[in-house]
Amino acid sequence: MLAWRVHEFGPPEVMILDRVPRPVPGTGEVLVDVHAAGVGPWDGWIRAGKSALPQPLPLTLGSDLSGTIAAVGSGVSEIAVGDQVFGVTNSQFLGAYAEYAVASAGMLAKKPGSLSYAEAASVPVVAVTAWQALFDHARLEAGQTVVIHGAAGNVGAYAVQLARRARLRSIATAGSQDIEYVRSLGADRVLDYHTQRFEEEVKDADAVLDLVGGETQIRSFQVLRPGGKLISAVSQPDQDRAKHHGVTAAFFLVEVTTERLREIADLIDRGDLKTRVGAVLPFSAARDAHMMLEGQRVPPKGKIILDVGGSDEATARA
């Protein structure tokens, strides 16, 4: 089979389309005939050698995927050959940029019936990240206020929608060109970060969801109430600064589970969550996708997807 591999860390040019043996699922695993794979910033970090996790070389890139089950390992009972699924490959975020991928059964669920394979592959990591930030880490409840930075991004868009559904009061930050989009997702208030200083507009928020990092994260401590929470999906917050402001602050890595994926799939099929695919590229264009991540090509609004099943180079299943 064909797979996009990295034999040395570096820029997109280090990615090589290799022909490799088809993997065999082990205990608790399944083999997915990949129809579509999602491309995310974490893929770029892994490729460049900047992952928060140890990543031995060589490796096959990719974590988000959708497809059909081709084989089932021992100990798997809730997924069968032929099932249409979506989710992620494993806790290392590896293996999805391939014609076939081994995945942990506990990190997959049945594909939402209302979504195409490309749309389904856009969902897992970003939607579960938004869910866990709001409810597992910030532990927000109806009536509380959350500031969502990067609200027009792939995680932020789900966070705004989930906040609306949970009856949270959401204050979102976005660029001028994205204000109407974020408002359409259900944000109670949208601040233009080009023209407004959010720390001058917001006080006593219960939580901040930081999807930007850097200076935005540092300034965010000022908008929290005593005892509030800053939850970052991008970088470790300054604990001394958190203590000074009387708040808690944490960085987390997403943990995708079947249970969370089922809940999200149900919300999608009921029309409570909308997906946003920005670009669908052929499997052969994975390097181009990573150039979009790096800003070398104009990035789309929405998730970048590789169409693995329709690849012109993947006509022969091996």
**For the segment 277-286, what is each residue's pLDDT rounded down to a tens digit?**
999 999 999 9
- Residues 116-136: what's their mean pLDDT? 98
Mean pLDDT of 144-149: 98
Structural domain 126-251, CATH architecture: 3-Layer(aba) Sandwich (3.40)
The rounded distance, in Å, linking the Cα atoms of 124 and 26 is: 22
> Which residues are CB-neighbours of 9 under 8 A, at least 6 positions away?
47, 48, 49, 57
Q: What percent of the chain has pLDDT over 70?
A: 97
State the average pLDDT for the chain.
Answer: 94
> Class of the 2-123+275-307 domain?
alpha beta
**184-188, 192-196, 237-241, 308-312: range with lowest mean pLDDT:** 308-312
Residue 171 Rama label (left phi>0; alpha psi -120 to 50; beta):
beta
pLDDT at 305 over 60: yes
Write the CA distances from 158 to 49, 251, 276, integer angstroms: 28, 18, 10
Q: 199 CB contacts (<8 Å, ≥6 apart)?
A: 219, 220, 222, 223
- Amino acid type, 128: V
pLDDT in tens, 94-125: 999 999 999 999 999 999 999 999 999 999 99
Q: How far is CA 139 from the centre of its chain?
A: 20
**What mean pLDDT do residues 146-158 have?**
97
| DSSP E strand boundaries for 129-276 | 145-148, 169-174, 189-192, 205-210, 224-232, 248-251
| Angstrom distance (rounded) from CA 10 to CA 48 | 4
pLDDT value, residue 165 = 97
Main-chain dihedrals φ then ψ at residue 12, nearest 5 degrees: -55, -25
Q: Find tokens 């946003």 and name the residue.
A: 276
Q: Rounded to an integer, what distance in angstroms lies between the CA atom of residue 189 and that of residue 294?
A: 30
Q: Is 32 helix (H, G, I), strand (E, B) or coil?
A: strand
- Helix, strand, coil distribution of the chain in percent, nearest 5: 30, 30, 40
Q: Over the stretch 33-44, which tens digit does the pLDDT of each residue have?
A: 999 999 999 999
200 pLDDT higher than 60: yes
Q: What pTM was estimated for this model as a whole?
A: 0.93
Strands (E), the chain: 2-6, 15-19, 29-39, 59-60, 64-72, 84-88, 100-104, 108-110, 145-148, 169-174, 189-192, 205-210, 224-232, 248-251, 277-282, 303-307
As a whole number of angstroms, the distance between CA 93 and CA 96 comes to 8
pLDDT of residue 314: 34
Residue 313 has pLDDT above 50, yes or no: no
Q: Is the pLDDT of residue 311 over 50?
A: no
The gap between the terminal CA atoms of the chain, to the nearest Å, is 4
Whether pLDDT at 312 is above 80:
no
Q: Is the model more confident about 88 or about 297?
A: 88
Domain positions in the chain are 2-123+275-307, 126-251
- Paired residues of 67 in beta bridges: 34, 85
Strand partners for 171? 147, 189
Inform me whether the pLDDT recorded for 152 exceeds 50. yes
Mean of the pLDDT values across residues 69-84?
Answer: 96
Distance CA 113, CA 120 (A): 9
**What is the average per-residue pLDDT within 224-243?**
97
> Using 50, 70 and 90 to split pLDDT, how confident is the model at 310?
low
